[in-house]
Amino acid sequence: MALRTIRIAGDPVLEKKCREVKEMTPRLQELIDDMFETMYDANGVGLAAPQVGVLKRIVVIDCTGEDPICMINPKVIEQDGQQTGEEGCLSVPGKAGIVTRPQHVKVDCYDRDMNHVILEGEDLLARAMCHEIDHLDGKMYMDLAEGGIHDVSYDYDEEEEEAPRTI
Ligand code: ZN
């Protein structure tokens, strides 16, 4: 496994539509492992393949640090409710914005062994699923942020606490 470089907003790769994965390969398995490693290293809860420069419909998410989810070719098939809250992105370091997302979503996708699965998410997981799926269509959260984005300066002790986690 290896850390990959996270692309930063302004990089054209983040504005492109990603292609569907037709078959799993050892190379893509390695990419998925690297995406998890890169996400954990950056204290993120989610990462989409275009954020490491690969235009494929692959997302990794882990909201708790213990529930890794890999979604291949994900599509939101149901959504309900609303949540409004602060959202950030690993490709937009040091910034956040207020974004409204569904409270609950159902996602049709494939797992990393290309088994067809339906996943459900609520709260932060629903937010992360929507945020990452948007990345696959070249969309960033800034376009949804009410009142634009702002600088974040978290008040935490670097030696004693972990840095805040970002989608
Ligand atoms: Zn993001």
Instruction: Please state the three-class secondary structure of 68-113 as a single string.
Output: CEEEEEEEEEEEECCEEEEECCCCCCCEEEEEEECCEEEEEEECCC
Local confidence band at 157 (pLDDT 50, 70, 90 cut-offs): low
Q: What is the CATH number of domain 12-151?
A: 3.90.45.10
Phi, psi dihedral angles at 160 (to 5 degrees): -105, -25
Tokens 């986690």 appear where?
165
- Domain boundaries defined on the chain: 12-151
66 is catalytic: no
The pTM of the full predicted model, rounded to 2 decimals, is 0.93
Work out the average pLDDT over 145-160: 74
Calculate how far, in angstroms, residue 114's C-alpha sits from the geometric centre of ligand 1. 24
Calculate how far, in angstroms, residue 39's C-alpha sits from the geometric centre of ligand 1. 11
Q: What is the rounded CA–CA span in Å between residue 109 and residue 59?
A: 10
